């Protein structure tokens, strides 16, 4: 069985397995190790801030157009995150 490129299915499967290990499993493992080493509150705040950081980083290149609807949604999430942080007892 070949998949268009003339590579046998076994070789193609090895490449797929290698990409899976490097691109999927390694980052998930590192994320799990990081979660284990941090307290739950730090993990929650960091994970909640990811959409905000992603939106800001994607706004700089000229390839992306700003979406005001997305910005408003992220603003609402940020507001709730800020309320949660301020409500946490010290």
pTM of the model: 0.52
What Å distances lie between residue 43 and 6, 48, 52, 53, 71, CA to CA?
A: 46, 8, 15, 15, 23
Arithmetic mean of pLDDT, 50-69: 80
What pLDDT does 4 receive? 57
Instruction: With a cut of 70, say whether residue 6 has pLDDT above it.
Output: no
The answer to whether 41 touches 49, Cβ cutoff 8 Å, is no
**pLDDT confidence band for 67 (50 / 70 / 90):** confident
Please give the average per-residue pLDDT across 27-50, as a whole number: 89
pLDDT at 2 over 60: no
What is the predicted pLDDT for the residue at 36?
A: 94
Share of the chain above pLDDT 90, in %: 12
């Amino acid at each position: 069985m070949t998949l268009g490129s003339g590579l046998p299915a076994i070789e193609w499967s090895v490449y797929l397995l290698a990409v899976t290990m490097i691109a999927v499993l390694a980052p998930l493992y590192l994320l799990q190790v990081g979660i284990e080493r941090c307290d739950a509150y730090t993990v929650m705040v960091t994970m909640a801030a990811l959409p905000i950081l992603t939106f800001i980083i994607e706004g700089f290149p000229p390839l992306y157009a700003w979406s005001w609807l997305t910005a408003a949604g992220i603003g609402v999430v940020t507001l709730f995150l800020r309320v949660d942080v301020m409500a946490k007892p010290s």
